[in-house]
Chain A
């Protein structure tokens, strides 16, 4: 199956700093990628839809200035958590779909801890 690679898998940062998370489709091109957030023992909450070459579409309640998304190529989308606070600590996960399938392929996820 298709592979989506997400990096880093874990990151600890200080309050006020920014953290960048990368999501790469390794063996297919993805015009659209999705970013989710998952709190412990909870479901995946869609944060935004990342569109290659255009602005991301954010879900209601998600601050676009805080969670910057860049989808500069057909294989890479990045999520930058700006001015991180402890409440931003969570599991962030991306997904992408190959053109030939509606199945979503998920990255391994990034566990962010803000101290």
Chain B
């Protein structure tokens, strides 16, 4: 079945440093979504990427979708303590938008003030 791999599993950074998490799917995705989950909370939608090679920015966050639509990355510039949490990528397989998401393992970010 479809698998979505995400690395690294954990990342500890000093406040102000950059952070990147990578996501790779075994199959082509119709779209990829990114979510953030704070400790004890539920996943919150960040963004969706649909087009091959798409790049989207949200303030200090930059999201990329690979040309083959099988990989993606999230880059945070100059991390802040509010960025702490687990970041999940989630892919939707194939060409149809069914809403059925397969989640990566998540990357837990810790930021030292």
Which of A's residues lie within 8 Å of B, judged by CB? 1, 32, 34, 36, 41-46, 49, 60, 93, 95, 97, 102-109
Which of B's residues lie within 8 Å of A, judged by CB? 1, 6, 31, 33, 35, 41-45, 48, 88, 90, 92, 97-106, 108
What is the bound-complex CA distance between A1 and B46, given in angstroms?
Answer: 12
Contact call B88/A97, Cβ cutoff below 8 A: no
Number of residue pairs A-B, CB distance < 8 angstroms: 55
Contact call B99/A34, Cβ cutoff below 8 A: yes
The answer, among A32, A44, A46, A97, for a CB contact under 8 Å with B43, is: A44
B88 CB contacts on chain A under 8 angstroms: 43-44
What is the bound-complex CA distance between A96 and B1, given in angstroms?
Answer: 23
Contact call A46/B101, Cβ cutoff below 8 A: yes
Contact call B45/A105, Cβ cutoff below 8 A: yes
A105 CB contacts on chain B under 8 angstroms: 45
What is the bound-complex CA distance between A34 and B90, given in angstroms?
Answer: 13
What is the bound-complex CA distance between A80 and B103, given in angstroms?
Answer: 23
The answer, among B43, B97, B99, for a CB contact under 8 Å with A106, is: B43
The answer, among B48, B100, B104, B106, for a CB contact under 8 Å with A34, is: B100
Shortest Cβ distance from residue A75 to the other chain B in the assembled complex, whole angstroms: 16
- Given A106-B44, A109-B41, 14 more A-B residue pairs with CB atoms under 8 Å apart are A1-B45, A34-B99, A34-B100, A43-B103, A43-B104, A43-B106, A44-B88, A97-B99, A102-B48, A103-B33, A106-B35, A106-B43, A107-B42, A108-B41
What is the bound-complex CA distance between A5 and B81, given in angstroms?
Answer: 28
Contact call B108/A93, Cβ cutoff below 8 A: no
Contact A102 B31, CB 8 Å, known A32-B99, A44-B88: yes
A93 CB contacts on chain B under 8 angstroms: 42-43
B1 CB contacts on chain A under 8 angstroms: 60
A108 CB contacts on chain B under 8 angstroms: 41-42
What is the bound-complex CA distance between A60 and B48, given in angstroms?
Answer: 27
